[in-house]
Amino acid sequence: MRKYLSFFRIRFIAGPQYRAAAWAGIATQFAWGGMNILMFRAFYESGQNSFPMPFSSLSSYIWLQQAFLALFMAWFFDSEIFDSIVSGNIAYELCRPCDIYGMWFTKNLAIRISRAVLRCMPILIFAFLLPKPYCLSLPADLLSAVLFGVSTVLGLLVIVSFSMLIYISAFYTVSPMGVRILATSVIEFFAGALIPIPFFPQWLQPFIYALPFASMQNTPFLIYTGFLSGWEAVKSIGLQLIWFIILFVLGQLLIKHAIKKVVVQGG
């Protein structure tokens, strides 16, 4: 366990060093979040349809997306891992006295958390200070706040576990680029990153909620806004836990199989 904590600490410390990039990212997220809210506001003011969420809840959902983007961004992958597989430097990784899956998993957790620590507080503070209904509202009650925290941790574990499958796929492909692009598009769409899942057609929502992607950012944000509460929130958290276990175990099995088949420089 100590060696994995060392990997986590090394990657976590490296993240906050890029402060200029973090401030540039914060400015971009302010602008992007504001544009999304104004776009949805135009639809709400048209009055032609009934909407599944109050506009104030939707504003909170969007600001949470921006604040915790580093935790749940689907397009982030550690290029060093892909490079080590493609170039053959994976041989050096296999010589380390530790589980390669655990090492990669820990590194991915650390870099996502370190980036989120730099960016989330300025965005949250800014969003709280905005006028209603464009601001970030507080959770409905203390229980919602607690469940949001638990769900956020599980959502992070789910997306990292799924990302591990993308890394492992590089063992079986000439180039990982195609799998990365496909995975990013699928996750962004079905995780509610582009359109919150409550806005999807009613007949399609049960299918989307059952997928692992909804257990990433969608579940914690809907709990925070009060869309999921009580027993529904608990069931959603349970589904997150189930998907994390499935993806984690599947990743362990696949990487063991991949390592048995790996060939480095013909040896």
Tens place of pLDDT for every residue, the chain, 267 residues? Answer: 676 677 677 777 766 666 677 777 788 888 888 899 988 888 888 766 678 888 988 999 999 999 898 889 888 888 888 888 777 777 777 777 778 888 889 888 988 888 888 888 888 888 899 888 888 888 878 888 999 999 999 999 999 999 999 998 888 877 778 888 888 888 989 988 888 999 998 899 999 999 999 999 899 999 998 888 888 999 999 999 999 999 999 999 998 888 877 666 654
In a domain, 51, yes or no: yes
In a domain, 161, yes or no: yes
By CB neighbour count within 10 A (0-12 exposed, 13-18 middle, 19+ buried), where does 5 fall?
A: exposed
The whole-number pLDDT of residue 18 equals: 67
Q: Give whole-number Cα distances, 203 to 198, 209, 240, in Å.
A: 11, 11, 22
Q: Which domain holds residue 49?
A: 2-261
In a domain, 10, yes or no: yes
In a domain, 230, yes or no: yes
Question: Which residues are CB-contacts of 134 (< 8 A; sequence separation ≥ 6)?
Answer: 37, 41, 59
In a domain, 58, yes or no: yes
Place of tokens 């969420």: 53
Supply the DSSP string of 230-249, one letter for each residue: HHHHHHHHHHHHHHHHHHHH
Q: Please answer whether residues 66 and 32 qualify as being in contact, where contact means their C-beta atoms are separated by less than 8 angstroms.
A: yes
The whole-number pLDDT of residue 16 equals: 66
* Residue 95 main-chain phi, psi, to 5 deg: -80, -15
In a domain, 83, yes or no: yes
* Total residue count of the chain as it appears in this document: 267
The whole-number pLDDT of residue 237 equals: 94
Q: How many domains does the chain have?
A: 1
b/e code 139-174 from CB counts within 10 Å (16+ = b): beeeebeebbebbbebbbbbbbbbbbebbbbbbeee
In a domain, 249, yes or no: yes
Distance in angstroms (rounded) separating the CA atoms of residues 19 and 246: 36
In a domain, 71, yes or no: yes
